[in-house]
Homo-oligomer: A and B are copies of this chain.
Amino acid sequence: MIRPAIALQRTFEPAFRRLSKLAALDAGAETALAAAIDDAVLVQARRELLSEGKAVGPFRLIVAGWAARVRVLADGRRQFLSFLLPGDLIGHCGQSHPIASSTIAALTDVTVCTPPAPGAFAGLTEAYHISRALEEAHLLAHITRLGRFNAHERIRDLLLELNERLTLNGMAVRDSFDLPLTQEMLGDALGLTSVHVNRMVQTARRDGDLQWRGGRVTLTDPAVLARKVGRTVVRVTGGATEVS
């Protein structure tokens, strides 16, 4: 198969890898997606990609960097609702005049692009649908974490989820990945204080469950870890999402 130079080059982008794993893309879709990624723009860390209550802008795709949906309470308490990684989508909802249901903030410098519109290519449309289903599955998993897991389980379960997602888009290799989150951010996601996150991470290190130095995390044995927390794994198998 012959592709323009741009498309060939963008094939290695995490965002491209994720979407092409979610559904089979034909050459036209691949080229259009690669061209879109080539036009990505930068959003600096701490800037907002979306503001709660305001209109959702154009449909967007995260090309690089980490972002999070955030809710801040009147007294300053903060909750991260979900993390957005390269290959994740923003604002795909099908509604005519959607209003953002939460703020999305860039945790690191982030680059985003406007991918081909839903409906333009069958494969991409399917990938968008599956992406949205996965996003919902992650929300459900997060509810279970916060409702019924203790601090140990929450941290291990979240790191397992991140490892899965980063493996899908190629940013994690052999259960090792860069984690650009402070322990305070982890606490904001997990409903814990940074102090307690720290203690739990210490014991996880001592137990040999993981390594975490200089922003890089390595999970010793995800399978064993998953059994420890009774984690239900969400897999993607040839176009269908599967839970087991």
Contacts and interface: CB of A to CB of B under 8 A. Distances in A.
Contact of A241 (B99, B126, B230): B99
Given A129-B93, A133-B93, A230-B74, A98 B241 contact: yes
Chain A interface bracket (under 10, 10 to 19, 20 to 34, 35 or more)? 35 or more
Nearest to A147: B191
Nearest to A237: B99
B243 A101 contact: yes
Contacts of A126: 95-96
A217 interface: no
A143 interface: yes
B71 A140 contact: yes
Given A53-B244, A148-B73, A191-B148, A139 B132 contact: no
A194 interface: no
A50 B243 CA distance: 13
A178 interface: no
Contacts of A73: 144, 148, 230
Interface of A: 52-53, 69, 71, 73-75, 77-79, 81, 93-102, 126, 129-130, 132-133, 136-137, 139-140, 142-144, 146-148, 189-191, 230, 232, 234, 239-244
